[in-house]
C-alpha cells in the first residue's frame, strides 16, 4: 500500500530520502485521482526497493502543493536528491508512469 504523507513528514520522507521518490499529489474529490490510485499501488510493488512511492493530499496541506506549483490534481512529481526532476500532470497510463520511473532510475 502506498503511504500517505503528512506535511510534517514531507521533508524527511521526500527531500532527505536517499532513494528517488514519486509523490502522487491528489485530492479526495478528484475522480482522475481515484482512477490513478490502483496504477500507483501496482507500481509501488513493482518498483519496491528502487523508488519510494507516496501520496500527498493537497487538501490537508495546500502550502506544500503551492510550494511546488501544483495548480491541479493529480500531479505526479519525481524527486531525486531532494529536487524535482520530472513532473506529470493529470491522469497517466501505467506505461507512461513506468517510462517516467525508468527515466528517474537512469
Report, as residue numbers or ranges, the catalytic residues: 30, 33
Residue 61 makes CB contacts below 8 A (sequence gap 6+) with: 6, 7, 10
HSE-CB of 7 using CA atoms within 13 angstroms: 10
Q: Which of 50, 53, 86, 87 is nearest to 72 (CA)?
A: 87
Q: Which of 99, 26, 77, 98 is nearest to 56 (CA)?
A: 26
Looking at the chain, list the stretches that DSSP marks H as alpha helix, in order from N- to C-terminal side: 10, 31-46, 62-67, 94-105
Amino acid at each position: 500500500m502506498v503511504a500517505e504523507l503528512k506535511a510534517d513528514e514531507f521533508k524527511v520522507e521526500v527531500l532527505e530520502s536517499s532513494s528517488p521518490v514519486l509523490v502522487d499529489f491528489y485530492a479526495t474529490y478528484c475522480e482522475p485521482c481515484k482512477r490513478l490510485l490502483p496504477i500507483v499501488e501496482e507500481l509501488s510493488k513493482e518498483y519496491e526497493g528502487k523508488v519510494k512511492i507516496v501520496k500527498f493530499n493537497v487538501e490537508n496541506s495546500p502550502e506544500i502543493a503551492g510550494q511546488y506549483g501544483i495548480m491541479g490534481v493529480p500531479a505526479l512529481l519525481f524527486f531525486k536528491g531532494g529536487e524535482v526532476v520530472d513532473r506529470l500532470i493529470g491522469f497517466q497510463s501505467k506505461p507512461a508512469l513506468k517510462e517516467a520511473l525508468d527515466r528517474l532510475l537512469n
